[in-house]
Amino acid sequence: MLEVRGLTRAFGGLKAVDGVDLDVPEGAIVGLIGPNGAGKTTCFAAIAGFVKPDAGSVRFAGADVTGREPHVVARAGMVRTFQITQPFARLSVRENVMVGAWLRHARRAEAEAAAERVARAVGMGAMLDMRAGDLTVAGRKRLELARALATAPRLLLLDEVMAGLNPTEVAEIVGVVRSIRDGGVTILLIEHVMQAVVSLAEQVHVLNQGRIIARGTPAAIAADPAVVEAYLGHGAAARLAGGGGGG
Amino acid sequence: MSARARLLLALGAVAALALPLVLPSNYAVNVAVMILFSAFLGQAWNIAGGFAGQTSFGHVVFFGTGAYASTILHATWGWNPWLAWPMAALAGGAVGLGIGALAFRAGLRGSYFALVTLAFAEVFRILANSAEFTRGGLGILIKADARAANFQFRDPAWFYYVALALVAASLAIAWWLRRSRFGAQLAAIRENEDAARALGIDVLRAKTLCMGISGAMAGAGGTFYAQKYLYIDPTIAFGVEKSVEMLLVSMIGGAGTVFGPLVGAVALGFVGEATRALTSAQGLGLVVYGIILVAIVARLPDGLIGLFARRAARRGGRDA
Amino acid sequence: MPSFDILLAGIVNGLAAGAVYVLVAVGLTLIYGVLHIVNFAHGSLLMLAMYATYFLFAKAGVDPYAALPVVAGGAFALGYVLYRGVVGRFAHGKDENILLITLGLSIVIDNLALFLFTGDTQTIDVAHAQRMVEFGPLFLPRAKVIAFAAALAICAALGLWMARSDTGKAIRAVAKERQGARLVGIDVDHVFAVSYGIGIACLGAAACLLMPSFYVSPSSGHAFVLIAFTTVVLGGMGSFPGALAGGFAIGVIESLGGLLLGEQLGQIGISLAFILVLLLRPTGLFGARR
């Protein structure tokens, strides 16, 4: 569904994203992880059109969308959420989600019905009339998800949708994401919360300093020394290995 | 809309229709005409500034374009003013699209956008002041010929009804915006442009179109003004005062609401008349308006409408 | 095409006027650089200061150049109070709000002036400033020469003070890193108010330099606000060298515009410059790239 080749983007002299290759098969849940500052959000921004890549290509559902405007990409069916939530603060939850629904429905009644359906699916049924600006962090995260979902996307780019949630909330959202995928939406997610990555992702790509350093199942990359080093520092893998197996 | 709101609206409409018959003098009717006209222009500003969140300090440019368009067509080229009227709206709309496209393509927002609209108005003013076809600083006089077919009325009540029709039309447009897809897009843009983009909204196109609609409305207002006062010049048509008034009326009444500009126009109309009763010296009314603006931005960002809404909500909460 | 002599005179006149614009711009850019607010009341406050200068001369016979420290000092005080009382409360909220607040302020000031002083245009006749000074082939009124020299001197003094004095350093610290400045014990709110005050004090000084060659009326505020913003935007918001370059550029554009296009049409140069800069290079000639 998504083919990224050689994606590169620099800011000033620093290459935030350096020759990234990424494949997301249709119907899959793929994870993109890496330490802070690795370039994950920049990847999303470059893929979704918010930032123009310096080099590389992005193919979505067979079509070349490299460097297209964000709204064009979204209309084609690839929709991103934001790491720092961007609610339409003065609008209600219902109106927020409707903005997404309006993309696919021309009549108000349909858009409203679709929005309510999506909001309930995400667990926001009780909050439909609340002002978005009054929501808690967890609520805002759900709202990001609901809004994006209301556009009936084919591929969702979820940016740290679990951040700031307690374990119970994480488990809930994991369930929601899984059911979204079961409904036919492909998902690429950036995540720090390992509980979510392990439960959801079938394939994981690890990004460090703008480059992909490992790919594989969650179990495989957890054991990969390069990945351990990226998170825990140089020499950590050797230290851990030397420190003994179990216990 | 709730049954109670429908009733209020119906009562309001009846009262509005009956007003000229009840007012004691022509002066009073003229005050009412100016309040309605102010509400109409305020609604024009509201489309861009309130609904879409694009605060403009130079909206008079559309008003003046419309005023000159129809006046030149009528006074110089002999067009019937009723036929020239839609031309004024078209002219205002075209300028709206033009300025919108230029400013938004360049990525101007917030303060920069407000200032550039001010600069555009100033450019138009200077051009109008120097050009032949606008008669420069002399301005253009419309020959007094009070016939309905000539869009001139001896009895101000007729201007009142035309203004009322304009206000009704503007309320309908605002109402449509509130309920429509385009309006939802504008609201999203107002709240957060990037999020709007991420949800498939063509922000540039929507903002530009919105300026076009706003400009067309203000342009239509220009003709009304010209036909009532029978004289326009660069200062009247493109001076800052009108821009400020359009903004004040909307902000104070409630930017981004359907009835905000009307409420604001009525409130400011009363303040204006009160200060005029106190002193003949100019300027006091606007001093009060300025203070009210600061107070509104500081305490009541949703304007007077927000105040009523909050009171109603509180009352509703207590009753429940 | 006018002769070289006339063009030269136009440029020199423009530079002389430009020096005062530099002073106005420095105040505006300081306020933006430190407070990150767009002070829409800048033109109106200049108008107010010019009225103060006028009244000091007309009612008390005080020479505007002698009055400069007084008017500048009074302007500083007014700016400080305005910040603490009105502007400061909203300066850290939404960009939109502070714009509207300063708009409201300008509306109040403009119309208070209209109400108190009527719409009449006022000028002062400072005899010694009308005398001509010879500069090679050119003759300039003394007022313009004094304005040029004084404006630059004040800017230089301000620059020096900003670099050397404790308060100046505090201001620069706050402009660069608000939180950090707070953490090292700088009274940030006081610094903000002082910065705003200095910005307005520049207007006070500019007023005294302008009045001998110019006029004042309640609508002067509008004319100046666009000039002030064009200057700052041309040079780059928050940039001091930018204010310098912008001020002189605008002065020359205004002067040459009047020369080449006539009195009426000539004014268009400034507004067009403003629009072009914003559309083509909004960060200005010296501003940081967005």
The ipTM of this complex is: 0.89
Binary contact (B122, C264; C-beta < 8 A): no
Binary contact (B187, A95; C-beta < 8 A): yes
- Weakest mean pLDDT among A28-32, B61-65, C4-8, C41-45: C4-8
Question: What number of other Cβ atoms are within 10 A of residue B102's Cβ?
Answer: 16
Residues of B in contact with C105 (CB under 8 A): 290, 294
3-state secondary structure C171-219: HHHHHHCHHHHHHCCCCHHHHHHHHHHHHHHHHHHHHHHHHHHCEECCC
Residue A157 forms contact with B (CB below 8 Å): no
Give which of A50, A80, A99, A112 to mutate to test B binding, by max B Cβ within 10 Å.
A99
Per-domain residue ranges of chain A: 2-86+153-242
More confident residue, B57 or A38: B57
Binary contact (B197, A90; C-beta < 8 A): no
DSSP category for residue A213 = E
More confident residue, B167 or B111: B167
With a pLDDT cut of 90, the percent of chain A lying above it is: 61
What pLDDT was estimated at residue C129? 80
pLDDT in tens, B185-222: 999 999 999 999 999 999 999 999 999 999 999 999 99
Q: Give B247→chain C minimum CA distance, Å.
A: 10
Say how far apart CA B271 and CA B286 lie, in whole Å: 9
- What values do phi and psi take at A58, rounded to 5? -130, 120
AA letter at A92: S
DSSP category for residue A91 = S
Per the DSSP assignment, residues forming a β-bridge with B231 are B141
Residue A100 forms contact with B (CB below 8 Å): yes
Say how far apart CA A88 and CA B191 lie, in whole Å: 5
Mean pLDDT of A208-215: 89
- Tell me the whole-structure pTM to 2 decimals: 0.91
Band of residue A244 on the pLDDT scale cut at 50, 70, 90: very low
Mean pLDDT of B238-267: 94
Where helices occur in chain C by DSSP H, the ranges are: 4-35, 42-60, 64-82, 88-90, 95-117, 127-130, 142-164, 166-176, 178-183, 188-210, 220-235, 240-261, 263-266, 268-280
Give which of A72, A83, A92, A102 to mutate to test B binding, by max B Cβ within 10 Å.
A102
DSSP category for residue B140 = E
pLDDT in tens, C262-274: 877 888 989 999 9
Exposure of C134 by Cβ count < 10 A (0-12 exposed, 13-18 middle, 19+ buried)? Answer: exposed
Band of residue B277 on the pLDDT scale cut at 50, 70, 90: confident
Residues of A in contact with B200 (CB under 8 A): 71, 74-75, 79, 103, 151
CB A162 within 8 A of CB A93: no
CB C122 within 8 A of CB C215: yes
Say how far apart CA C234 and CA C284 lie, in whole Å: 5
CATH architecture for segment(s) A2-86+153-242: 3-Layer(aba) Sandwich (3.40)
Say how far apart CA A173 and CA A161 lie, in whole Å: 8
Residue of A nearest to B182 (CA): A102
Residues of C in contact with B123 (CB under 8 A): 268, 271-272, 275
Interface size between A and B, measured as CB pairs under 8 A: 74
Among C104, C265, C279, select the one facing B106 at the smallest CB separation: C279
pLDDT above 70 for B317? no
Mean pLDDT of A57-72: 93
Residue of B nearest to A97 (CA): B199
Mean pLDDT taken over chain A? 89
What pLDDT was estimated at residue B99? 97
Question: What number of other Cβ atoms are within 10 A of residue A179's Cβ?
Answer: 12
Is C276 within the bounds of a domain?
yes
Is C286 within the bounds of a domain?
no
Per the DSSP assignment, residues forming a β-bridge with A5 are A57
Binary contact (C111, B116; C-beta < 8 A): no
Q: How is residue B27 written in tokens?
A: 């002066």
CATH of the domain at C88: 1.10.3470
With a pLDDT cut of 90, the percent of chain C lying above it is: 36
Instruction: With H, G, I as helix, E, B as strand and everything else as coil, classify residue C257.
Output: helix
User: Chain A, 26-85: which have a CB under 8 Å from a chain B CB?
Assistant: 48, 50, 69-71, 74-75, 79-82
Q: Which chains touch C (3 or more CB pairs under 8 A)?
A: B
What pLDDT was estimated at residue C286? 62
Say how far apart CA B264 and CA B258 lie, in whole Å: 11
B254 φ/ψ sector (left φ>0, alpha ψ -120 to 50, else beta)? left
What is the distance in angstroms between the CA of the first residue and the CA of the last residue of chain C?
40
Q: Which chains touch A (3 or more CB pairs under 8 A)?
A: B
Mean pLDDT taken over chain B? 92
Among B180, B192, B202, select the one facing A88 at the smallest CB separation: B192
Is C288 within the bounds of a domain?
no
DSSP category for residue C267 = T
Residue A131 forms contact with B (CB below 8 Å): no
Mean pLDDT taken over chain C? 87
Among B119, B130, B282, select the one facing C275 at the smallest CB separation: B119
Question: What number of other Cβ atoms are within 10 A of residue A130's Cβ?
Answer: 16
- What values do phi and psi take at A29, rounded to 5? -115, 115
CA B170 vs. chain centroid, Å, equals 9
Query: Between chain C and chain A, are at least 3 CB pairs below 8 A?
Result: no
Q: Give A168→chain B minimum CA distance, Å.
A: 28
Residues of C in contact with B102 (CB under 8 A): 279
What pLDDT was estimated at residue B4? 86
CB A205 within 8 A of CB A226: no
Is C290 within the bounds of a domain?
no
Among A50, A74, A89, select the one facing B199 at the smallest CB separation: A74
Residues of B with CB under 8 A from a CB of C: 53, 55, 57, 102-103, 106-108, 110-112, 114-116, 118-120, 122-123, 126-127, 129-130, 136-137, 240, 244, 247-248, 251, 281-287, 289-291, 293-294, 297-298, 301
Residues of B in contact with A80 (CB under 8 A): 198
More confident residue, B280 or C110: C110
What is the distance in angstroms between the CA of the first residue and the CA of the last residue of chain A?
42
Q: Which chains touch B (3 or more CB pairs under 8 A)?
A: A, C
Residues 6+ apart with CB under 8 A from A169: A138, A162
Give which of B199, B203, B207, B305 to mutate to test A binding, by max A Cβ within 10 Å.
B199
Binary contact (B203, A91; C-beta < 8 A): no
Among B53, B244, B282, select the one facing C107 at the smallest CB separation: B244
pLDDT above 50 for B318? no
Is C152 within the bounds of a domain?
yes
- C48 is in which domain, residue-wise? 4-118+126-280
Say how far apart CA B120 and CA B115 lie, in whole Å: 9
Q: Give C158→chain B minimum CA distance, Å.
A: 27
More confident residue, C171 or B52: B52
pLDDT above 60 for C290? no
Give which of A51, A52, A71 to mutate to test B binding, by max B Cβ within 10 Å.
A71
Instruction: Give the pairing type, strands C132-135 and C138-141.
Output: antiparallel
Residues of B in contact with C115 (CB under 8 A): 281-284, 287
Query: Between chain A and chain B, are at least 3 CB pairs below 8 A?
Result: yes
Mean pLDDT of A176-203: 90
Residues of C in contact with B111 (CB under 8 A): 38, 95, 99
Binary contact (B195, A87; C-beta < 8 A): yes
Is C222 within the bounds of a domain?
yes
Say how far apart CA A204 and CA A189 lie, in whole Å: 9
Mean pLDDT of A136-165: 92
Q: Give B256→chain A minimum CA distance, Å.
A: 11
Q: Give B187→chain A minimum CA distance, Å.
A: 8
Band of residue A230 on the pLDDT scale cut at 50, 70, 90: confident
Binary contact (B191, A91; C-beta < 8 A): yes
What pLDDT was estimated at residue C285? 65
Residues 6+ apart with CB under 8 A from A36: none
pLDDT in tens, B48-104: 999 999 999 999 999 999 999 999 999 999 999 999 999 999 999 999 999 999 999
Q: Give B147→chain C minimum CA distance, Å.
A: 37
- Angle A61-A66-A71 (CA atoms, 0-180°, nearest 5)? 80
Residues of B with CB under 8 A from a CB of A: 179-181, 184-185, 187-188, 191-192, 194-203
Binary contact (A90, B191; C-beta < 8 A): yes
Q: How is residue B297 written in tokens?
A: 């931005």
Mean pLDDT of C218-231: 89
Highest mean pLDDT among B117-126, B129-138, B146-155, C117-126: B117-126
Per-domain residue ranges of chain B: 3-319
- CATH number of this structure's domain B3-319: 1.10.3470
What pLDDT was estimated at residue C135? 75
